[in-house]
Amino acid sequence: SKAVQLCKAEGAFEQGKTYTVTCETKGDSVSVEFDNSVKLSGSDPSLATKKTGYRLVVKGGGVLFDDFAVLSLE
């Protein structure tokens, strides 16, 4: 599938600091909230289709994920 940018973070993220991130997808919409009050949202019709997985794209120095969990809220 082709990558589509749905939103862009404008908030400040301090290098080396740990953040809690909550991401929710519902139908054709996605929302992401960070514990530093940065909130992102976007939508695209392709989000409402069945998938085998998702990918996260980060520009810049990179990102590390720890204690990652995927939950079904059905």
Return the higher-pLDDT residue of 34 and 73. Answer: 34
- Got the DSSP string for 37-49? S-EEEEE-GGGGS
Rounded distance between C-alpha atoms, residue 28 and residue 22, angstroms: 17
Rounded distance between C-alpha atoms, residue 33 and residue 38, angstroms: 6
pTM for the model: 0.71
User: What beta strand segments (E) does the chain contain?
Assistant: 21-26, 29-34, 39-43
* pLDDT score recorded for residue 7: 86
pLDDT in tens, 14-66: 888 888 989 888 999 999 998 888 899 999 998 888 877 777 777 777 788 88
Rounded distance between C-alpha atoms, residue 63 and residue 9, angstroms: 14
Helix (H, G, I), strand (E, B) or coil at 23: strand
Q: Where are the domains of the chain?
A: 18-64
